[in-house]
């Protein structure tokens, strides 16, 4: 009996010493820091994300002309140029008549070309306009426009399919207007900024 009591005492003493001064349970978690408020101007534009020359995380498009981030709707009329995806800066609209400003050396070759009315998939460099689908009157423009700009992103799916083509891992195989692709891309694309409730 004495031997059992001694063993129990020898086991209890180290446990008591080890737990002396130790907290009862896990410490209460401190509240997570909240994200800074997004400043949205009257035109729906937001500032660059930063740090440095990071304009966005591809959730909106940086407009070099207006120096703000916008959703795709901002660019569909009155903007002529290209929307590029630059690995270092995000998604950026580069106007056709631009003569100065930042360079985008990490831009992909697959871009979206804006003619002021439509959104066209396009290849920088030797690629040019995407014309493999061929011209047809259902595009809604003439053959001269088709030669200059190629096919267009279907009006039903501008946001989702434009974003999908720009960020596709194999853009040459991207299927515009394909019903499966449209369903898979539902809800994807550039986001419209909105003001937080005050």
Distance, CA of 67 to CA of 46 (rounded, Å): 9
* Percentage of residues of the chain with pLDDT beyond 70: 75
What's the whole-model pTM score?
0.76
Q: What are the pLDDT digits (tens) for 100-127?
A: 888 898 999 999 999 999 999 999 988 8
Distance, CA of 190 to CA of 32 (rounded, Å): 27
Distance set, CA 61 to CA 47, 135, 166, 180 (Å): 11, 29, 12, 26
Q: What are the pLDDT digits (tens) for 62-104?
A: 999 999 999 999 999 889 999 999 999 999 999 998 888 888 9
Cβ pair 192, 71 in contact under 8 A: yes
């Amino acid at each position: 009996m004495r031997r059992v009591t001694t063993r129990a005492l020898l086991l209890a003493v180290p446990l008591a010493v080890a737990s002396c001064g130790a907290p009862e349970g896990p410490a209460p978690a401190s509240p997570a820091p909240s994200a800074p408020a997004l400043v949205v101007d009257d035109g729906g534009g937001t500032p660059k994300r930063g740090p440095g020359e990071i304009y966005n995380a591809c959730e909106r498009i940086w407009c070099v002309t207006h120096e703000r981030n916008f959703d795709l709707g901002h660019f569909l009329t009155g903007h002529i140029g290209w929307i590029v995806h630059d690995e270092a800066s995000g998604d950026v609209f580069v106007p056709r008549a631009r003569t100065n400003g930042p360079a985008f050396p990490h831009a992909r070759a697959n871009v979206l070309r804006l003619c002021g009315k439509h959104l066209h998939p396009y290849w920088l460099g030797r690629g040019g306009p995407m014309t493999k689908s061929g011209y047809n009157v259902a595009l809604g423009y003439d053959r001269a426009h088709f030669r200059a700009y190629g096919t267009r992103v279907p009006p039903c799916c501008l946001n989702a399919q434009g974003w999908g083509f720009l960020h596709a891992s194999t853009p040459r195989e991207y299927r515009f207007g394909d019903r499966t692709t449209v369903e898979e891309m539902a809800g994807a694309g550039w986001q419209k900024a909105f003001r937080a409730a005050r």
